[in-house]
Chains A and B, each alone.
Chain A
Amino acid sequence: MAEIELKTAPADFRFPTTNQTRHCFTRYIEFHRCLAAKGENSGECERFAKYYRSLCPGEWVERWNEQRESGTFPGPL
């Protein structure tokens, strides 16, 4: 069995309010910007991936992935 580590996305002072929609969106964009800058095989981007997976619902991530593949993602990647 893999060891379970109690760790999640930290609190971000850019998003101090109850509304965390932009926090999830921003973490997702940060991950893909990191991929574009450092390449797909780099291990440094895994940290950002864990952040957006913790914050974003699965359905949102699935829809955003489809939009990225079809080129209609609205964010600044």
Chain B
Amino acid sequence: MGLLSCFRSTVLRKCSKGSSGMSRFLYTNNFQRNLISSGGNESYYGYFNRRSYTSLYMGTGTVGGITSARIRVPNVGCEGFMCSSHLSITQRNSRLIHSTSKIVPNSEIQNITTEMVKTPEVSRWMDQVIPTIAPCDAAEPWQLGFQDAATPIMQGIIDLHHDIFFFVIQIGVFVSWVLLRALWHFRSKMNPIPQRIVHGTTIEILWTIFPSVILMFIAIPSFALLYSMDDIVVDPAITIKAIGHQWYWTYEYSDYNNSDEQSLAFDSYMIPEDDLELGQLRLLEVDNRVVVPAKTHLRVIITSADVLHSWAVPSLGVKCDAVPGRLNQISTFIQREGVYYGQCSEICGTNHAFMPIVIEAVSTKDYGSWVSSQVN
């Protein structure tokens, strides 16, 4: 049940999510009020860019006022397709983020937000038909649910959660109903003398068999998904080693070595909050990203050099402990190009919250360009 829905179209799901995001933005008065009052500060740019509303409006041309505003969104790292064009010119251990925009004066921002408030109904209908697909995979502010899936395993995890939640709600409602009914019908006012019920064979049989059947419906897709994660059968095309340190990650690509000393290795430190550029995410950006090709089987070997860490990227559905002296292996298959964010998920000391993980999935050609620029 859960696995078969793995093969559902992720684009369809993503389109519907983008549509709801767009309508949420347009119809919520709080957002309009906040955007108008925020002026030119960073949060406005960050939020705006992450949703990529500007490109949509300029593309359609249905809203003339916004098109003439000539606002330019900064070319920041979370847009994977823009970063991939920079990969061929990236030097070793240099930053992959190039900000080429200038800050727009406050008056233009005021005009843009004012025009958005007056968006006609036709444009709203068009937004429903042509939704925006956000290219950046990080948690939205106060997000409670899952991030968008980028691997079949994560899609399976999300579907399994939905299936089990269906049973959880049903069982919760039924048990609550039985409990409240018992409290009501057997209260002392109605039954001054309590009954002495000893045994009921029929209900014993029923409440033993039915939970077993429900557990079977929960366990079968769960075990199927669990054992499908151990895909040792497929030979990977790339091996990446993630080595946890206090408090950063080191990544090694050793498939292209000709000796033990020559290695494509780099450290991945978090960009401090003071050094963040417009549109970058706080506590999530790093100076050197892990670049991998999309639609390729990857092997990630995770270990640690000092204390326990955990390498977790929610969009990919991977979470694996980094144990010193032990090599843990996970296999993954990223289905779409983009930038995916994760964080260390095992308490490892004072700066446990400041060692994020950024994976950039690019096309195979761009990956080759990146490796060539790094190795030679």
Contact = CB atoms under 8 A, between A and B. Distances in A.
Given A2-B376, A19-B328, A58 B230 contact: no
A1 B299 CA distance: 25
B256 interface: yes
B241 interface: yes
B241 A8 contact: no
Interface in A1-32: 1-2, 4, 6-11, 13, 16-21, 23-24
Contacts of B238: 6, 8
B247 to A, nearest CB: 18
A34 interface: no
A16 B230 contact: yes
Nearest to B252: A58
Given A2-B372, A58-B252, A65-B260, A13 B265 contact: no
Contact of A8 (B230, B239, B293, B328): B239
B257 interface: yes
B326 A19 contact: yes
Contacts of B236: 8, 11
Contacts of A4: 256, 368, 371-372, 375
B93 to A, nearest CB: 16
Interface residues of A, number: 29
B320 A18 contact: yes
Interface in B318-338: 320, 325-330
Given A9-B239, A65-B260, A16 B232 contact: yes
A53 interface: yes
A21 B328 CA distance: 7
Majority secondary structure of chain A interface residues (helix, strand, loop or mixed): loop
Nearest to A59: B305
Nearest to A6: B237
B119 to A, nearest CB: 47
Given A19-B326, A53-B254, A13 B232 contact: yes
B235 interface: yes
> Which of B230, B233, B238, B256 has the most C-beta atoms of chain A within 10 angstroms of its own C-beta?
B256
Interface in B247-276: 252, 254-257, 260, 263, 265
A30 B236 CA distance: 21
A24 B327 contact: yes
Contacts of A55: 239, 301, 327
Contacts of A18: 230, 320, 328-330
Contacts of B330: 18
Contacts of A7: 237, 255
Nearest to B329: A20
B367 to A, nearest CB: 8
A62 interface: yes
Counting from the closest, the 4 A-B pairs by CB-CB distance are A8-B239, A20-B327, A54-B239, A6-B237
Given A2-B372, A53-B254, A57-B252, 11 more contacts: A4-B372, A11-B234, A11-B235, A16-B232, A18-B230, A18-B320, A19-B329, A50-B255, A53-B260, A57-B243, A59-B305
